[in-house]
Structure 1
Amino acid sequence: MALHVAVVDPLPMYREGVAAVLSAAGHRVEAPAELLAWVRQVQRGVVLLTLEHERDWDVLGRLRDVAATHAVIALIGEEPAVLGTRAVRAGARSVLTRDVAAGVLRRTVEATAEGQAVLPAVVATALATGAHRTGGDTKPPSPRQLSWLRQLAEGSTVAQLAGRAGYSERAMFRLLQALYQEMGVATRVQAIVRAQEQGWFGAGTGLSEDLGTGPGRVRR
Structure 2
Amino acid sequence: MAILRDAGFEPEAPDDPLAWLHDQQPAALIFTLLSDTDWNLLESLTSSAADTLLVVLAERVTVETSVRAFRLGAACILPRSTSPAALSEAFSAALNGRSTVSLDVLRALIFTAPSEPSDDYPSTQEREWLRSLSRGVTVGRLAVEAGYSERMMFRLLRNLYTRIGAAGRADALVTAQAKGWLGP
> Residue by residue, what CA displacement relative to the aligned partner does 1:68-92 show, whole Å, maximum 9, x if unpaired?
2311112112252111111111222
Going from structure 1 to structure 2, the CA distance change for 1:62 and 1:146 (only over 3 Å counts) comes to: closer
> Residue by residue, what CA displacement relative to the aligned partner does 1:34-91 show, whole Å, maximum 9, x if unpaired?
1012112223221111112111111111111111231111211225211111111122
User: Among 105, 110, 113, which residue is 2:87 paired with?
Assistant: 105
> In the alignment, what sits opposite 1:84?
66
Structure-2 separation of matches of 1:57 and 1:110? 24
> Residue by residue, what CA displacement relative to the aligned partner does 1:139-171 show, whole Å, maximum 9, x if unpaired?
xxxx999712486xxxxxxxxxxxxxxxxxxxx
> In the alignment, what sits opposite 1:115?
97
User: Among 38, 42, 47, which residue is 1:65 paired with?
Assistant: 47
What SS class does the counterpart of residue 61 from structure 1 fall into? helix
What SS class does the counterpart of residue 30 from structure 1 fall into? coil
Structure-2 separation of matches of 1:90 and 1:125? 17
The number of aligned residues is: 136
Does residue 3 of structure 2 align to residue 21 of structure 1? Answer: yes
Dislocated runs of 4+, deviation >6 Å: 143-146
What SS class does the counterpart of residue 94 from structure 1 fall into? strand
> In the alignment, what sits opposite 1:53?
35
What SS class does the counterpart of residue 119 from structure 1 fall into? coil
What is the Cα-based RMSD across aligned positions, in Å? 3.5
Cα contact 1:96–1:120 (8 A) shared by 2: no
Cα contact 1:95–1:120 (8 A) shared by 2: no
How is 1:51-200 mapped onto 2 (pairs within 5 angstroms)? 51-130=33-112, 147-149=133-135, 194-196=179-181
User: Shift in Å at residue 24 of structure 1?
Assistant: 0.6
Letter in 2 for 1:27: F
> In the alignment, what sits opposite 2:23?
41
Structure 1 alignment gaps of length 5 or more: 1-18, 134-142, 152-178, 184-190, 202-220
Structure of higher RCO (CA pairs closer than 8 Å, 6+ residues apart)? 1
Cα contact 2:66–2:77 (8 A) shared by 1: yes
Letter in 1 for 2:34: E
What SS class does the counterpart of residue 28 from structure 1 fall into? coil
Cα contact 2:61–2:79 (8 A) shared by 1: no
How is 1:4-19 mapped onto 2 (pairs within 5 angstroms)? 19=1
Going from structure 1 to structure 2, the CA distance change for 1:110 and 1:38 (only over 3 Å counts) comes to: same
Cα contact 1:149–1:192 (8 A) shared by 2: no
Structure-2 separation of matches of 1:146 and 1:34? 24
Cα contact 1:75–1:97 (8 A) shared by 2: yes
Going from structure 1 to structure 2, the CA distance change for 1:148 and 1:109 (only over 3 Å counts) comes to: same
Going from structure 1 to structure 2, the CA distance change for 1:94 and 1:193 (only over 3 Å counts) comes to: farther
Going from structure 1 to structure 2, the CA distance change for 1:150 and 1:45 (only over 3 Å counts) comes to: farther
Structure-1 separation of matches of 2:2 and 2:72? 28
Structure 2 alignment gaps of length 5 or more: 116-128, 138-169
